[in-house]
Amino acid sequence: MLSLLKTRRGEWMARILVVDDDEVTRGIVAEFLSGQGHECTLAKSVAQACVHLRRQRFDLTISDFNMPSRNGLELLRQVVRNWPDNSFILISGQTTSRLRRKALALGAVACVAKPFKLQDLLDCVEYALQARYSLRSGQRTIILRRPEDTRNAVTPAFS
pLDDT of res. 136? 52
CA distance 147 to 109: 13
Residue 39 neighbours by CB under 8 Å, 6+ apart:
13, 14, 15, 16
Write the single-letter amino acid at 103: A
pLDDT of res. 147? 38
pLDDT of res. 146? 35
Do residues 44 and 32 lie in contact, with contact meaning Cβ atoms separated by under 8 Å?
no
pLDDT of res. 6? 54
pLDDT of res. 151? 41
pLDDT of res. 7? 46
* DSSP at 37: T
Do residues 58 and 86 lie in contact, with contact meaning Cβ atoms separated by under 8 Å?
yes
- Which stretches of the chain score pLDDT less than 50? 1-2, 7-9, 139-155, 157-159
CA distance 82 to 8: 32
3-state secondary structure of 21: coil
Number of other residues whose CB lies within 10 A of the CB of residue 36: 17
b/e sequence 100-131, b meaning 16+ C-beta within 10 Å: beebbeebbbbbbbbebeeebbebbbbbbbeb
pLDDT of res. 135? 52
CA distance 99 to 71: 12
